[in-house]
Amino acid sequence: MQIARSADLNGLAARIRHHSLTMTNTAKSSHIGSCLSMVDLLAVLYGSILRLDPEQPDWPERDRFILSKGHAAAALYATLAERGFFPIEMLGSFYQNGSRLAGHASRTVPGVEISTGSLGHGLPIAAGMALAAKRTDEKHRIFVLLGDGECNEGAIWEAAMFARQHRLDNLVVIVDLNGIQSLGSTKEILDLAPFADKWRAFGWSVCETDGHNLRELEARLSSLPFELGRPSCLIANTVKGKGIWFMEGKLLWHYRSPQGEEFAAALAELEREA
């Protein structure tokens, strides 16, 4: 079966950004900042790391990916379309009445493992999937992408304890550490520091990386598990709104979508960088 590979991770990331921007503009929907901070993570995962087969979305030996921060679904849908799970033209229906591409990640979309958006649930589900795989001696891995604000949820830490207790080294957490959540900075709302030490204290093997350095991300994620017998946590330091200068690091773009001149300026910037 197919192992995902791409010689052009930069190109893939650029296309995902372009799709995400256009989708949120057309739909007049939110969370473009949350999408842009994780684009490079998705590009590396789906362009180089995950074992998958777009022609068989339910291939039993596939790696499982869960987007726990399901409000950033536009970027996941764009990635899946680019990888061939469904036609790219379908992205134009995002967030429209009757569309399969709901505003939060939906299991009705080919390639989406579970419906998400209620924060804190992705890791508990992923831990259960990892335990089931261990007990049936299956070799696939389970990846879950968390937001840093989402890590305020107690269910995250209950699942973290569970995963270490059961030595789930087939489970990988990636944290999109962009420093901003819905109503302010994570430092202002509920400070996570020292963040890496928290995961280590819960018994995980932890690495930190630049969440926008594609080659560094690829190298880190190619060396899984980080330690046999322990679940792996990759903390990716990212920028909210990455790739569009007036969105970068700005809380405003958590809920707002670019319209009019702002959209034109954002689109022009992405096209210059492509």
Q: What is the DSSP string of 130-184?
A: HHHHHHTT----EEEEEETGGGGSHHHHHHHHHHHHTT-TTEEEEEEE-SEETTE
Report the predicted TM-score, pTM, of the whole model to 2 decimal places: 0.96
> 157 pLDDT band (50/70/90 cuts)?
very high
Distance CA 227, CA 171 (A): 11
Q: What's the average model confidence in pLDDT over 89-115?
A: 97
Assigned token pair, 191? 């400070």
pLDDT in tens, 214-244: 999 999 999 999 999 999 999 999 999 999 9
Q: What's the average model confidence in pLDDT over 73-81?
A: 98
Q: What's the average model confidence in pLDDT over 208-212?
A: 98
Predicted pLDDT at 29: 92
Q: Is the pLDDT of residue 83 over 60?
A: yes
**CATH entry, 9-273, from 3.40.50.10420, 3.40.720.10, 3.40.50.970, 3.20.20.80:** 3.40.50.970
Is 172 in contact with 232 (CB distance < 8 Å)? yes
On average, the pLDDT of the chain sits at 96
Q: What's the N-to-C CA distance of the chain in angstroms?
A: 31
Distance CA 237, CA 63 (A): 24
Predicted pLDDT at 5: 52
20 by Cβ neighbours in 10 Å (0-12 / 13-18 / 19+) ranks as: buried
